[in-house]
Structure formats: C-alpha cells, structure tokens
Amino acid sequence: MMNGVTPPDGYSARAATLDDAEVVARLRSAYQTDEGDTSVTTAEEQLNDWAGENLAEDSLLVFAPDGSLAAHADVFNRRYLQVSIYGGVHPEHTHHGLGTLLTRWGEAWIRNRMERAPADAQITVQHYINTRNEAACALIEALGYSYAHTIYVMRIEMDEAPHAPEQLEGVRLRTFVPGQDERATFEAVDEAFRDLRGRPEGDFERWLAFTENERQDPELWYLAEDEASGEIVGTCLARNVPGSGTGWVGGVGVKRPWRRRGLALAMLRAAFGACYHRGIANVELSVDAGSPSNAPQLYTRAGMHVTQSISLYRRQLRSGRDYNTLPDTADA
C-alpha cells in the first residue's frame, strides 16, 4: 500500500476501507473550503467515487500524530498508461511534507506496475490541482511536473424549468435501458472522448464497475440514437450527487460524424430538465478549458458558468510510444 514511501515523523499511513468514507468526506470538504469551493462532500458521494476501486491497493490515508486524518490519495488508472492521482491535505497539516508524500506514492504505484503496460509504451502520471492553491501548484512543479492544461468546473442554477431540447432530424433522444445499452453506451463514450488530450482507450469491464451506482438511475442518462441504424451516437450521463442536492454530468459526448447538429445541447437540456423535475436545481460538470470541440462555449449557451479552474499537471515516468489519443478540431 505504501509502495516503499515513508510518511513524515509522527504520521502513519494505511489503505482506506469503505468504513472511512465519512472521515475522508470531511477531509475533502475541509481542503475544498480552503480553496474557495463551498460544496460539501458527503459520505455517500465518497462511496460512489470509490465504486470499482480496489481500495487495498489504490488508496492511501495519512493520519496525524493525534489520530486525525491529515491527507488522502486515490489512484485512477487508465490501462497503466496514464495514472491520475486524486487527493489532498488538510489545511492544518500543510508544510509537513504530506503533499510530497502523496505525489511520490502515486509515482511509486505506477512504477511498481509498469510491466502491465505495453513494453514500448509511454507512461505518465498526473494531478488535478485547484488553480487557487498556489502553494500546491508550486510544489507539483518543483517535483518535476509540467502544466498541461486547465479544466473548468461549470454550473447551472435553475430557478425555472430549462428550455426543452429541440427535435433533431434523424436522431431521437431517449434514456438508458439497463441490460441493453451498456456496451453501446460505453463505446459511444469512448469514441467521443478520444478527442480529449492524452486520454487512452477505455476498458469496458472497468467502466461497468465505475458506473455501477449511476446505472441504477437510468432516467438521468440520455442517449442520442440514430433512427436509421439504431446506433448510439451521443451520450449525456447525469447523476444525482448523494446527499448534496446537486446533479453532476459525467460527460457529454458525440461521435464525430454526428457533430455540428445540435445533439450535445439537446441532450444536455434533456438532462437538465430531468434533474429539475426531480427537485435538483443545480447541476455541474467539468470540461477541458481548451476543448477541441469548443465544449465550454456550448455549456455557456446552455446556461452554465465557470465556478472553478483546475490545473492539470503531468509527468512522464517512461518514454515510449504514445498510446493516448490526439485532439481533433471537430465541434460537438
């Protein structure tokens, strides 16, 4: 679990368990508040975030000398080609070397598993850091990471029902059907998001594990289906964030041949409407600020605005063939 990394004197560390959801949620809320994010993470949301993870291998909790939780980290692994480390340090425990510990732990995690990637593959590790946290940005750069790009968190607050989606020629919008649409939805998401910077091809079984809870509420998952072929050509996968009264859209994607037809905006408005009629007035999502599909502009047209700016930092741990996908200039 520690991957050969030792915590600072007086601190101890272990892997997380599901029983730690409440204390991790409180820790996340503490450092998010310190960064200007007023949202509160709940234990239910933390459990949802852990869906599909092997916590015994893929998580780290760091405890202070008084036994309180001081820091945490989780691994999100994309085929051992690109590893994202999510976590943070409690504001009362900054400047104790914990940020460095989390960073080196994440690097050690993938170094110990490099043989699982193709032998000729480039391997990278990355961190998402709130741009307001200047100290954390400076630290990650000092540890050898380079700024890659910016992610926006965008939000809509609805005090009335949103615009209904427009009718689309040759395409119908419908909700996800469990037991029928899993494979087609995954393939549509994977193909659509191959335009993202440096995102490797997905894995169906892993996707099923990570979306298990969300798929239990299919009325918030909207699909665009080509009427002629029945092919799923676009997705908008929303969910109710447990205990928060807020909705989250995990991804709006349209396959390249069906872009520039208004599918993304129509699906988004359908999802907003479904959330609103459930009493979920606020909906958020994250998006690449420099999206090759001009997604931030699309979301602004839908009534959303930027609430947070997140900097993505990346470090190459092994050179080699880039199996990650390249951006395209096609518009959604």
Please spell the DSSP secondary structure of 233-245, one letter per residue: EEEEEEEEETTTT
Query: How far apart are alpha carbons 305 and 300 in whole angstroms?
Result: 6
Q: What integer pLDDT is reported at residue 327 of this predicted model? A: 46
Candidates 72, 98, 69, 68; CA nearest to 85 is 72
Domains of the chain, by residue range, sit at 12-117, 154-310
CA dist., res. 179 & res. 139, Å (int): 46
CATH 3.60.15.10 is held by the domain 154-310:
no
Which residue's entry shows tokens 């605005």? 305
Torsion of Cα atoms, 155 then 157 then 160 then 161, to 10°? 30
Summarised one tens digit per residue, pLDDT across range 31-74 is 999 998 888 899 999 998 998 899 999 999 999 999 999 999 99
What's CA 203's distance to the chain center, in Å?
15
- Which pTM value belongs to this model? 0.89
- What is the spatial distance between Cα 249 and Cα 84, in angstroms, rounded to a whole number? 20
Task: Please tell me the distance from the alpha carbon of residue 222 to that of residue 236, in angstroms, as a whole number.
Answer: 5
Give the per-residue pLDDT at 330: 38
Q: Terminus-to-terminus CA distance in the chain, angstroms?
A: 41
Calpha distance 192→185 (Å, rounded): 11
Q: Are 271 and 238 in contact (CB under 8 A)?
A: yes
In whole angstroms, what is the distance from residue 121 CA to residue 12 CA? 35
223: nearest Cα among 257, 272, 172, 183: 172
Looking at the DSSP assignment, which residues form a beta bridge with residue 282?
157, 246
**Cβ atoms of residues 162 and 301 within 8 Å:** no
Domains 12-117 and 154-310 alike in fold: yes
Q: What is 118-176 written as a DSSP string?
A: -TTB-EEEEEEEETT-HHHHHHHHHTT-EEEEEEEEEEEE-SSPPPPPPPBTTEEEEE-
CATH topology of domain 12-117: Aminopeptidase (3.40.630)
Lookup: tokens for 112: 């110990």
Average pLDDT for runs of 10 along the chain of length 332: 83 97 97 88 91 94 98 95 96 97 97 96 96 96 97 96 90 96 94 73 89 90 96 95 85 88 94 95 93 87 95 97 60 40
Q: Which helix (H) or strand (E) is 187 found in, with range?
A: helix 182-192
Q: Say if residues 51 and 242 touch (Cβ distance below 8 Å).
A: no
